[in-house]
């Protein structure tokens, strides 16, 4: 028989609220401390408690703690970052999300604010998206700086987690494809909030999946079978404010307000109906 949680509903709600408010993407390195077996089990338990269509639990996970494996994945991530920035693909692809001023992000309330840039780069920042942008970035060695940082934080993360969906469930184009993605989002958020409550951080390591040949290398390294789709790789570990931020870094604390988000009764109607009517 499943034991009911020992705490009451009020306490659960308060803990949940705090975890939601405190959850962040961790860009900086983690403490050099292995993630405990107990916490690993708690994270996977939380992910698997998420709702899924017909309780299909359409996921499987690979936990990567071995140093050699982490080094190899770190090398691939570093190379991916270097290529993406060096060729300008990354900025071209995701230009619309980048903000370089505080005012800009406060007005938009979305996107990421690149608030940490080495001094020699600052005068050129407005040119990043222009035709001379890539040239300037390369001459200032930005791809190498970002590649080096990316490789280091991935290699030194005590735990990497590969999230896979079963292809028998994840069938793009069919309803179960969407259902699997909804389930995956719920599982990841459960895992993320649990990590937050355990003093841990998470970051999505997306760079290898942006470079198709490097993604193939990851699939091979992790021996992902044909029956599964590798959806994402995350790095996890214990966080500390005392660890310094990366050389180039961003924050994204802004969120759109309630009034920006909702319509009442039909799309576009911003006037709130009177209560009880
Ligand atoms: C689907 C998805 C892809 C993301 N890709 C990356 C990524 O490649 N690198 C990264 O550092 N963060 C990535 N993020 C984190 C977002 O940038 C982050 O959630 C957002 O800016 C809000 O910041 P916060 O998580 O600190 O609240 C991703 C998040 C999601 C949900």
Domains recognised in the chain with CATH numbers: 9-261 (3.40.109.10)
127 has a pLDDT exceeding 90: no
Q: Determine the average pLDDT of the residues in 117-123.
A: 81
Q: Is the separation of the CB atoms in 65 and 159 below 8 Å?
A: yes
Q: Determine the average pLDDT of the residues in 236-253.
A: 94
Atom nearest to 23 CA in ligand 1: 27
Q: Determine the average pLDDT of the residues in 160-177.
A: 97
Those residues with Cβ within 8 angstroms of residue 215's Cβ, 6 or more apart along the chain or in another chain = 208, 209, 230
54 lines ligand 1 (CB under 6 A): no
pTM: predicted TM-score of the whole model, two decimal places: 0.92
40-96 confidence digits (pLDDT tens) = 999 999 999 999 999 999 999 999 999 999 999 999 999 999 999 888 888 888 989
Closest CA to 233 of 152, 182, 162: 162
Query: 237 is written with which tokens?
Result: 């570990």
24 lines ligand 1 (CB under 6 A): yes
Q: Is the separation of the CB atoms in 251 and 100 below 8 Å?
A: no
Give me the helices (H) in the chain, please: 9-22, 37-48, 67-86, 89-94, 102-108, 133-139, 142-155, 175-197, 207-210, 212-221, 258-261
Q: Is the separation of the CB atoms in 121 and 108 below 8 Å?
A: no
């Amino acid at each position: 028989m499943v034991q009911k949680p020992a705490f009451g509903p009020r306490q659960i709600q308060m803990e949940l609220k705090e975890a939601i408010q405190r959850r962040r993407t961790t860009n900086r390195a983690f403490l050099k401390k292995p993630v405990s077996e107990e916490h690993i089990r708690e994270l996977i338990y939380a992910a698997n408690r998420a709702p899924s269509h017909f309780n299909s639990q359409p996921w499987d996970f690979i936990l990567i703690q071995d140093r050699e494996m982490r080094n190899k994945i770190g090398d691939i991530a570093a190379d991916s970052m270097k290529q993406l920035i060096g060729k300008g693909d990354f900025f071209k692809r995701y230009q619309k999300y980048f903000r370089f001023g505080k005012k800009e992000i406060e007005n938009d309330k979305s996107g990421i604010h690149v608030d940490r840039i080495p001094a020699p780069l600052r005068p050129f920042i407005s040119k990043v998206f222009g035709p001379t942008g890539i040239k300037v970035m390369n001459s200032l060695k930005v791809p190498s700086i970002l590649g080096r940082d990316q490789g280091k934080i991935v290699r030194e993360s005590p735990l990497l987690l590969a999230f896979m969906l079963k292809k028998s469930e994840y069938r793009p184009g069919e309803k179960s494809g969407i259902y699997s993605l909804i389930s995956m989002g719920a599982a990841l958020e459960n895992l993320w909030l649990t990590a937050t409550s355990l003093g841990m951080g998470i970051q999505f390591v997306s760079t290898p999946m942006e470079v198709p040949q490097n993604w193939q290398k990851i699939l091979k390294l992790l021996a992902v079978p044909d029956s599964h789709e590798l959806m994402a790789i995350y790095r996890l570990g214990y966080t500390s404010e005392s660890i310094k931020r990366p050389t180039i870094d961003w924050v994204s604390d802004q969120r759109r307000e309630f009034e920006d988000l909702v319509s009442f009764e039909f799309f576009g109607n911003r006037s709130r109906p009177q209560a009880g009517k």
